Structure 1
Amino acid sequence: MTDSLTITRPDDWHLHLRDGDMLRAVLPETARHFGRAIIMPNLVPPVVTGDQAAAYRDRILSALPEDMSFTPLMTLYLTEETDPDDVAAAHASGLVTAVKLYPAGATTNSASGVTNFDKVRPVLEKMAEIGLPLCTHGEVTDPDIDIFDREAVFIDRVLDPIRQATPGLRVVMEHITTANAADYVRSHGTVDGGDLGATITTHHLIINRNAILVGGIKPHYYCLPVAKREEHRLALRAAATSADKRFFLGTDSAPHTDANKLSACGCAGCFTATNTMALLAHVFEEDGALDHLEGFASQHGPAFYRLPENTSTLTLVKTDEPVHVPQSIVTPDGPVTVFDPGFPIHWTVA
């Protein structure tokens, strides 16, 4: 029985840090374990220009505790007014690692997102030319489409047409939640994962939609894209643990105060930064794939983004007794509940 595992220090390829007091409270939860993270730009107002991304990066670095090492990888929020030349300049300077596509109204702070995809074609063509990846929140927002079908419809109506119309565009399908998405990556992405990849969150490997609704509504399991049927959760587990280079970790860890989660119109998001690595060790061990955890968490993402792997390591240790995980993180705005997997955790980061 494996009781310890040392891997290359992991990265998080999809992370929400917010800003201000919340940023200062939650950043150490990621920096404790992860070397880098792709930082989501959906602030209010959103991070649209290179100058705004530089200012946000500086605020993140200012909030980082002195005894921690962490590199924020900045993204730009794609709008119908985004300037292709500004995007290219931000990328050339090394500031920006990706551009994020939010269909307007798809999730938290996405009102400035894209409605008319023809208007962003010049930006996408410039991105294909310079090799800058597009990260997609893969859901349509049409009111006539069931919320559980929005990812599959996005692939057919939006993603595939964009890729066909923009040869060479490198795409990350973020936080995939369906077998449809996993199958699309396998059937349309090159085996080396160089042109099409997908991130998978910790919580979508653990919960299905029953966790949200059975026995009463559980707001802390509500996220977007929403968790789907058990067959889809199992498909995500198979993809994550398969050693396929096209799949890698993006937690989508999303801090909201309990007051905002438990309101009459609660916010979407699971906060998993604190215990993700322990939970992944549990999942990969359960599926007999501990030897594939390093690839998923530490190697496939850097390979897609054409970055070197981290040079330091992280060691996970298995314990006989369940490990204590804080129920919440204290912030000046109120507590942020840490994701509860619903089972005892026996892995911890040494």
Structure 2
Amino acid sequence: MDKLVDSIIITKPDDWHVHFRDGEMLDAVIFDTVKQFSRAIIMPNLSEPITTTNMAKNYRHRILDSLARLKKNNQISKESSFTPLMTLYLTDNTKPEEVLNAHSSGFVFAFKLYPAASTTNSTAGVSNLFENCREVLEKLQYIGMPLLIHAELPDKNIDIFDRERFFIDKIMTPLRRDFPDIKLVFEHVSTKEGVDFVMEDTGPIAATVTPQHLIYNRNSLFSGGLNPHLYCLPILKAEEHRKAILKAVFSGSARFFLGTDSAPHIRSLKENRCGCAGCYNAYNAMALYASIFDENNSLDKLEAFASFNGPDFYGLPRNRDFFVLHRKENIIPDMLEIGKIQLIPLGAGSTINWCI
């Protein structure tokens, strides 16, 4: 799209990977997602992981209660609709029966694999996928429920920048060999090897892509000093990997779609001697995506990436509402203060050319 346009109208997008947390943080961040997205896949790695359908039901009620408070306080229209798509946290002790419970619930849409100790709140994650979860994997394959994968091998002997590559060799490749029809989502893909695996795999597979992995490379972490607000897992990679992700997304492949991985942590836990991993990008997510698509003359590819590929993969209807983005100078705030919570948004202090 070479000709400059003042605005674009697309089908209302969805976020296929977001962290809402719980309690006060949930109330603080939900608005930023609801103002842009019609649906969102909600991550289950709370401090007490969401491991059962009943726990997901209760968490979903807390999300809907928070949404109701936004409407009551006139922060969003009373006619506004948002659907949380719940997930369950896979553990070494998950039973195959739980897959059936989740599938029949009507509100749980996937299971999430966190290798133990791979990221925030992952200590209860899977220690050995093939020894401990084979029956669950068989059931997921049989009923067609997606397995969402945090694709990093958390081995202290593996360089942090190589964790995704090693995970592909040791887990993804044998997983596809043993379960050729299991539906997989390669979450927040961050490497050329990850992109290549998704493009070349012969089974049902897709990948979510974050704004930070499209916009930044690992040099950005250290530009002008250490930037803890760009520290996320999977960590930002070298420029060749960013370019590979850009190429895949702009190729028009239906296997890549929007998943912000927006992961809020209060400012004091990011600017800390042991800062938490995660970028809070929900505040400006669609403007950030539009900016990077625009910079690469690919605005015509944004709607499929943000609004079509995700629901098509999950077997859900595309949204019927529309969403407008405007070409306008947008200075991202240095900090967001929501009640007692301070958050630093992705790109804080910078200027982008799109806004919602």
Which stretch shifts more, 71-80 or 156-165?
A: 156-165
- 1:340: which partner in 2? 347
Are 1:246 and 2:259 matched, yes or no?
Answer: no
Q: Deviations over 1:213-246 (max 9, x none)?
A: 2331110000000000011111111112221000
Query: Residues 343 and 16 from structure 1, CA distance in 2 versus in 1: closer, same or farther, beyond 3 angstroms?
Result: same
Report how far residue 285 of structure 1 moved: 1.0
Q: Deviations over 1:231-270 (max 9, x none)?
A: 1111111112221000001000000000000110000000
Q: Deviations over 1:19-44 (max 9, x none)?
A: 00000010000000100000000001
- 2:139: which partner in 1? 126
Q: Which whole-Å CA distance do the structure 2 matches of 1:102 and 1:165 have between them?
A: 19
- 1:196: which partner in 2? 205
2:243 pairs, out of 204, 214, 234, with: 234
2:303 pairs, out of 291, 294, 304, with: 294
- 1:13: which partner in 2? 16
1:49 pairs, out of 48, 52, 61, with: 52
Q: Which whole-Å CA distance do the structure 1 matches of 2:336 and 2:85 have between them?
A: 24
Secondary structure at 1:335 match in 2 = strand
Q: Which whole-Å CA distance do the structure 1 matches of 2:21 and 2:149 have between them?
A: 19
Q: Which whole-Å CA distance do the structure 1 matches of 2:336 and 2:32 have between them?
A: 9
- 1:328: which partner in 2? 335
Contact 2:331 2:349 in 1 (8 A): no
Q: Which whole-Å CA distance do the structure 1 matches of 2:241 and 2:354 have between them?
A: 25
Contact 1:206 1:341 in 2 (8 A): no
Runs of at least 5 residues in structure 1 that lack an aligned partner in the other structure:
none
Which stretch shifts more, 103-112 or 84-93?
A: 84-93
- 1:267: which partner in 2? 276
Are 1:36 and 2:39 matched, yes or no?
Answer: yes
The correspondence of residues 94-105 of structure 1 with structure 2, limited to 5 A, is: 94-105=106-117
Q: Deviations over 1:183-209 (max 9, x none)?
A: 11111146xxxx100001011101100
Which stretch shifts more, 233-242 or 326-335?
A: 326-335
Q: Which amino acid aligns with 2:240?
A: E
Q: Which amino acid aligns with 1:87?
A: V
Query: Residues 323 and 16 from structure 1, CA distance in 2 versus in 1: closer, same or farther, beyond 3 angstroms?
Result: same
Contact 2:28 2:341 in 1 (8 A): no
The correspondence of residues 99-248 of structure 1 with structure 2, limited to 5 A, is: 99-117=111-129, 118-189=131-202, 195-248=204-257
Q: Which whole-Å CA distance do the structure 2 matches of 1:325 and 1:42 have between them?
A: 28
1:79 pairs, out of 91, 116, 126, with: 91
Report how far residue 167 of structure 1 moved: 2.6
Secondary structure at 2:244 match in 1 = helix
- 1:277: which partner in 2? 286
Q: Which amino acid aligns with 2:177?
A: Q
Runs of at least 5 residues in structure 2 that lack an aligned partner in the other structure:
72-76
Contact 2:117 2:125 in 1 (8 A): yes
TM-score by length of structure 2 reads: 0.94
Report how far residue 276 of structure 1 moved: 1.1
Secondary structure at 1:304 match in 2 = helix
Are 1:318 and 2:331 matched, yes or no?
Answer: no
Report how far residue 334 of structure 1 moved: 2.6
Report how far residue 342 of structure 1 moved: 7.0
Secondary structure at 1:48 match in 2 = coil
Superposition RMSD on alpha carbons, in Å? 1.2
Q: Which whole-Å CA distance do the structure 2 matches of 1:41 and 1:61 have between them?
A: 16
Q: Deviations over 1:24-67 (max 9, x none)?
A: 01000000010000000000110000000000000000001222
Secondary structure at 2:330 match in 1 = coil
4+ residue runs over 4 A deviation: none
TM-score by length of structure 1 reads: 0.96
Secondary structure at 2:351 match in 1 = coil
Q: Which whole-Å CA distance do the structure 1 matches of 2:159 and 2:182 have between them?
A: 29
